[in-house]
Amino acid sequence: MNYTFSNKIASLKPSAIREMFKSLTDPNIISFAAGNPAPESFPVDDLARLSADIFATSATSALQYSVTDGYAPLRQAVAKRLKQKFNIGKSAAEGDKYDDTTVIVSGGNQGIELACKVLCNEGDVVICENPTFIGGLNAFRSCGAKTVGVPLLDDGIDTDALEQTIKSTPNARMIYLIPTFQNPAGTSTSLEKRIKIYEIAKKYGILIFEDNPYGELRFAGEEIPTVKSLDTEGLVIYCSSFSKILSAGMRVGYVTAPDEIVQKMVVAKQSEDVHTNIFFQMLCHRFITECDLDAHIEKIRAIYRRKCSLMISTLEECMPKSFKFTRPEGGLFVWCTLPEGVDMNAFVKKALEKKVAVVPGTTFNCDPDAPSRSVRLNYSTPTDDQIVEGCRRLGETAREFNI
């Protein structure tokens, strides 16, 4: 039997990163290729205790079918937190121009995919920072949308190029941004640029998808207001999750967006998974309302502050000066740019021979054939010893290129 697949899926490749995981069976390989939270960041004891209590007191509702938009007490707790911490969430009743609604999704990636599904017809365009999150790119492609990249600078997307791209792309439907601790670049968009981007979106009537999985993971520098907090017109779909602060494996995230958009996303979600695992929605709610989430997040920040600082200082020590890297103030990644003349793919291959895995920058390009001189390094998953030894091996690799 010869199978024929839909156009949108036929050309879709599995994420290079997830494929790389499969080849990382050699226990001697140090992986800087993942994006996993540090295992020590999971509040295991609290989750175990609360789980036991859910089984004891609410087993039937925790195991039964539930509503698609999410467990109401969790939605309320999330909305309250977003309002208090990030000034997110409008209510026409309070004199705002429109209503925002918060719903639960099965991880942030589902939020991205649902937004594209409800907004884009086949061939419509999502404008992305270039480079950007591969999971976002693949979600857009899997919906039949096209992606167009706009260069990401140190302080955020190139806003002149963004405006030009919108002008020349009449079927652009959404701007996909990770303004805070961007994946893969590790940089954050300045407040000035956030305002500028929002003004452009407003001028051209185009929606913004603000993906903020790392927003709570700041360990240096000053907080920058979210783009969503600037949203007076109902242009921003905000998405985040509990993956980086409670558990990635449970797949619980949330979307806050204008009610009309959210209702369409809920209808689309109903056809995907009916609802998100209700037991873990209840568990998240219990954790938020009964434990000290802020104190827990402070612990995670301390872990990443230490790991990031260790990676940066070891890289400074081991790598030739011609190799540039970002100094992140939060998130999970360092973005390393190779000197001109070094073949990035050859570098990645040589590093793997020395048993250290990094992700080639081309993975994150909207145009998969476009070149890249960068690689992504993750510091949240490896141990401290692995960070030091892996950076040493990267230094060795770099010196073999004689730069």
Site for a copy of itself in 77-106 (CB under 8 A): 98, 106
Closer residue to a copy of itself in complex, CB, 69/329? 69
**Distance in angstroms (rounded) separating the CA atoms of residues 171 and 268:** 22
Sign (positive or negative) of CA dihedral 150, 332, 248, 83: negative
Region of 81-89, 192-200, 257-265, 368-376 interacting with a copy of itself (CB under 8 A)? 257-265
Give whichever of 120 and 315 is closer to a copy of itself, judged by the CB atom.
120
How many helical (H) and strand (E) elements, i.e. helices and strands, does the chain have? 13, 14
The Cα–Cα gap between 330 and 348 comes to 25
The answer to whether 72 contacts a copy of itself (rule: CB under 8 A) is no
The smaller minimum CB distance to a copy of itself, of residues 98 and 401, is found at: 98
Of the pair 113, 211, the CB lying nearest a copy of itself is at 113
Number of residues binding to a copy of itself, judged by CB under 8 A: 86
Verify binding: residue 63, a copy of itself, rule CB under 8 A.
Answer: yes
- Residue 368 within binding range of a copy of itself, rule CB under 8 A: no
Question: Judged by CB under 8 A, does residue 159 bind a copy of itself?
Answer: no
Q: Bridge partners of 148? A: 127
- What is d(CA 81, CA 356) in angstroms, rounded to the nearest whole number? 39
121 binds a copy of itself (CB under 8 A): yes
Length of the chain: 403
**Closest to a copy of itself by CB, 183 or 326:** 183
Q: Which residue, 113 or 216, is less far from a copy of itself as judged by CB?
A: 113
Determine the residue type at 214: Y
Residue 36 Cβ, how far from a copy of itself at the closest point, in Å? 5
Residue 3 C-beta: closest distance to a copy of itself, Å: 5
Q: Which lies closer to a copy of itself via its Cβ, residue 187 or residue 243? A: 243
Vertex 291 angle, CA 285 and 292, to 5°: 115
Asked if 57 interacts with a copy of itself (CB under 8 A), we say no
Taking CB under 8 A as the criterion, the residue among 79, 250, 338, 351 binding a copy of itself is 250
Closest distance to a copy of itself from the beta carbon of 50 (Å)? 10
Task: Give the burial class of 123: count Cβ atoms within 10 A of its Cβ; 0-12 exposed, 13-18 middle, 19 or more buried.
Answer: exposed
Which of 151, 171, 199, 249 forms a contact with a copy of itself (CB under 8 A)?
Answer: 249
Burial (CB count <10 Å: 0-12, 13-18, 19+), residue 64 = exposed
The tokens for 78 are: 């999330």
Contact 221, 305 (CB under 8 A): no
Q: Considering the rule CB under 8 A, would residue 146 count as an interface residue with a copy of itself?
A: no
Residues 274-303 that bind a copy of itself (CB under 8 A): 274-280
Applying CB under 8 A, among 125, 174, 178, 266 the residue interacting with a copy of itself is 266
Least Å distance between CB 158 and a copy of itself? Answer: 25
Distance of CA 203 to the CA centre of its chain: 27
The residue from 88, 89, 124, 152 that contacts a copy of itself (CB under 8 A) is 124
The contact mask relative to a copy of itself for 14-33 (x = CB under 8 A, - = no) is: xx--x--x------------
